Amino acid sequence: MEEAFTPEDRAALYRIIESRRDVRAFRSDPVPNEVLFRILTAAHHGPSVGFMQPWNFLVIRDPGTKRFVKAMCEAENGRAAMNYAGDRATLYRSLKLEGIEEAPINLCVTCDRLRSGPHVLGRNTIVDTDLYSTCCAIENLWLAARAEGVGVGWVSILNNDDLRQILGIPAEILPVAYLCIGYANEFSPIPDLERRGWADRLPLQDLIFVERWGQKV
């Protein structure tokens, strides 16, 4: 029988989960290749529907490529800012929402929706489970990076068609996440958006139902 995890193991795991942050400010120190490989190995061990493993990991270090992605992000961010008015708009424009050029590594995680052929075990009814699987790999990556002292920031203010053109991604491949990776200036004790007053963490007890939707304990 496999040996159980120790209380110390469990405590370390929960501490890593609770201290994971979306990082926007990075030091210039390079991330060693062996550290990056360990982080990507953790991602590759994520669960996937039908053991499909639909992900690819596109590692980007070239400053020119980062500049193109940054310019596209700034254009999309300008459009996103139009969703807000007044104090909310002022706060939005003050937020640092990416570290594309500062981060030593940018990483585009993609989903090959055709991998394993037209019939994937477990995907017959809910076809988007390949996307969910890719997100599970990304969370594995994020937690492994935190354990290594490496920060990760997910940049979601992007246009996937433009990103495909910049990175040469085929039309049938879906970009799921564009991540900035590097050693963080700091890991804040609370999420930055909470610290800045954008939103608060919801109480867990308000989100749990029992047996039927809306039914509390």
The whole-number average pLDDT for the span 58-65 is 98
pLDDT of 153 > 80? The answer is yes
Helix, strand, or coil (residue 93)? helix
Which string of DSSP letters, residue by residue, matches 144-179?
HHHHTTEEEEEE----HHHHHHHHT--TTEEEEEEE
Res 192: pLDDT: 94
Report pLDDT digits (tens) over 181-212.
999 999 999 999 999 999 999 999 999 999 99
pLDDT of 59 > 70? The answer is yes
Res 25: pLDDT: 96
- What's the rounded Cα separation, in Å, for the pair 123 and 140? 21
Rounded to the nearest integer, the mean pLDDT of the chain is: 96
Res 2: pLDDT: 72
Amino acid at 33: N
Q: Which CATH superfamily is domain 22-207 in?
A: NADH Oxidase (3.40.109.10)
pLDDT of 159 > 70? The answer is yes
What percent of the chain has a predicted confidence (pLDDT) above 90?
96
Report pLDDT digits (tens) over 95-118.
999 999 999 999 999 999 999 888
Are the beta carbons of 144 and 57 closer than 8 angstroms? no
Are the beta carbons of 115 and 153 closer than 8 angstroms? no
Res 118: pLDDT: 87
- What's the rounded Cα separation, in Å, for the pair 36 and 150? 9
pLDDT of 1 > 70? The answer is no
Phi, psi (deg, nearest 5) at residue 112: -90, 100
